Amino acid sequence: MKEGGFARGQGPGRVAIVGAGQVGTMIGMALTAAGLKAGVDGVDLFDVDPSVAALSRERGAGRRVLGDLGEALSADTVIIAIPVPGIVRFLEEYGARLAPGSLVIDTGGAKAMVVNAMRRHVPPSVHAVGGHPMAGTEVPGPAGARSGLCAGAPFAIVPVRDDPEALARAHALALAAGSIPVDVDAETHDRIVARTSHLPHLVAFAVARVVRRGDLDGAVARSLASSGLAGVTRLAASDPTMVAGFLWANAREVRRSVAELVEALAALGEALDGGPEGLAEALAGIVLGVSR
Amino acid sequence: MKEGGFARGQGPGRVAIVGAGQVGTMIGMALTAAGLKAGVDGVDLFDVDPSVAALSRERGAGRRVLGDLGEALSADTVIIAIPVPGIVRFLEEYGARLAPGSLVIDTGGAKAMVVNAMRRHVPPSVHAVGGHPMAGTEVPGPAGARSGLCAGAPFAIVPVRDDPEALARAHALALAAGSIPVDVDAETHDRIVARTSHLPHLVAFAVARVVRRGDLDGAVARSLASSGLAGVTRLAASDPTMVAGFLWANAREVRRSVAELVEALAALGEALDGGPEGLAEALAGIVLGVSR
């Protein structure tokens, strides 16, 4: 089996990032800044929209823009940083063409669907790992990426096969980006993230919809808008295609978490029947339960 | 009719703040900093917990702590900065003892219940106005108050009776605190704020409850917690008694906004059935609708 162009365990080698949006740019910036000391032998960027890749490069995410996806497939480390449905299509189409001995990892927000596709479409000669860097901003595209966002952030590492080298290389990659690798299986990841990330995204859009649809006097409503609203709806500024991708890919757990939210709202509505003291007690109970 | 100890329209005169928590402290800091130039002839602080009032004074919210609530009632401007149920009780008990010609204003997050209580319990010789400074942090108590938070923030001014002087004085008070007075009737305020503030608070607690209740692996869940979750649940750190107070006082509109949220979640759930493209379109439609 041909190994990638770098000694095992030494680092990511030549990295190709497929998808130069906010997440790809963020990781590219972190890896480019880390450089050879962290085993990064340059970052190449590919995006279906070449102007996006060019902007990403300008932001410092890589040394060059690839004109052809095929060039990405021969890298030592391929990072697929596109919405989940696109990741699955990429694996279906190109998984078999990845270089033996290379590492392929994604950045999608839902993992079971991705690692299943990796098992099906990536040959065992390639080290495949599911990844999820838990960092970013709500601003889509390379412009939304900020250097340093990866630093100290969790980076979920999700096994695809019994392949310790895959996990070791994924750890090295996460560490090179300054992140903290967190080993977790796909199902646990998806169950947790449904509630800690996907539900907050869905709620942000849903509250935004209520504010928009409510028969509110626009001018007065705008002048009364609170910082609290901005906090809760901030995630509704996220790229809808990215958000729709992980919500769809994690639909079962997302639906469960929505049902739990509706139940929680109903329980608080019942507490509201009991007057302000009973409601305050119910709210305080949640806070105590959440504090760690 | 005896007038307060300051010429009309010149400013708030001697101010007494009843309730030296985060909101009272924030306003006290702003008014104390504004001082005589803004017509503020000193701020006195009362709290049922004298140690809270003392801490508020230490933070710069006023010149002295009142040992007796009676001393507050004789001020030129009385600001009631306690949870809504407490405001109503205060008006019932002490409304008739407020000084003729003085201004009484509250800071509660729900207004119809408060201005109704003002109509019933505050004699017409007193200038009564409902107030709602749309500023603050999620940290309860004087420690959560930050100077400058009032600056540039909206301050809802809600009429109680046909009393132009009351409104003029309330405007002067809001301006003295550096805020932007926004005239709005109680029903419109409550309908808007139910959706722009009360619903976000309720959702923050409900999402916190889901995260807590979900059968999540605690250590992994903590290591995967995202900044998105922190944003959506930030308001769940608010004082439960304050939050319960305005949710209860605005129960009808809060219940309606919850029903609208559940409907919005159901609509997004339906869009989810249509696959990622349909869902992305639905999410993008919300964003477009919200963007101004």
Rounded to the nearest angstrom, the minimum Cα separation between B141 and chain A is 15
Residue written as token pair 């608080």: A268
Rounded to whole angstroms, the Cα distance separating B37 from B41 reads 9
List the 187-226 stretch of A: residues with Cβ below 8 A of B.
188-189, 191-193, 195-197, 199-214, 216-217, 220-226
Rounded to whole angstroms, the Cα distance separating A229 from A264 reads 20
Task: Using the Cα atoms of residue A7, residue A13, residue A19 and residue A22 in order, give the sign of their dihedral.
Answer: positive
- Please report the pLDDT score of residue B216 as a whole number: 73
Please judge whether A200 and B229 are an interchain contact, meaning their C-beta atoms are less than 8 angstroms apart. yes
pLDDT in tens, chain A (292 residues): 344 444 445 689 999 999 999 999 999 999 999 999 999 999 999 999 999 999 999 999 999 999 999 999 999 999 999 999 999 999 999 999 999 999 999 999 999 999 999 999 999 999 999 999 998 888 889 999 988 899 999 999 999 999 999 999 999 999 999 999 999 999 999 999 999 999 999 999 999 999 887 667 677 787 887 777 888 888 998 899 999 999 999 999 999 999 999 999 999 999 998 899 999 999 998 865 544 3
Q: What is the pTM (predicted TM-score) of this model? A: 0.89
- Please report the pLDDT score of residue A135 as a whole number: 87
The complex scores an ipTM of 0.88
Sites in chain B below the pLDDT cut of 50: 1-8, 290-292
- Please report the pLDDT score of residue B292 as a whole number: 35
Please judge whether B220 and A184 are an interchain contact, meaning their C-beta atoms are less than 8 angstroms apart. yes
Report the C-alpha dihedral over residues B290, A206, A89, A51, rounded to 10 degrees.
20
Report whether A162 contacts A128 (CB < 8 A): no
Rounded to whole angstroms, the Cα distance separating B122 from B166 reads 13
Report whether B147 contacts B29 (CB < 8 A): yes
Identity at B182, one-letter amino acid code: V
**Does A146 contact chain B (CB < 8 Å)?**
no
Rounded to the nearest angstrom, the minimum Cα separation between B185 and chain A is 10
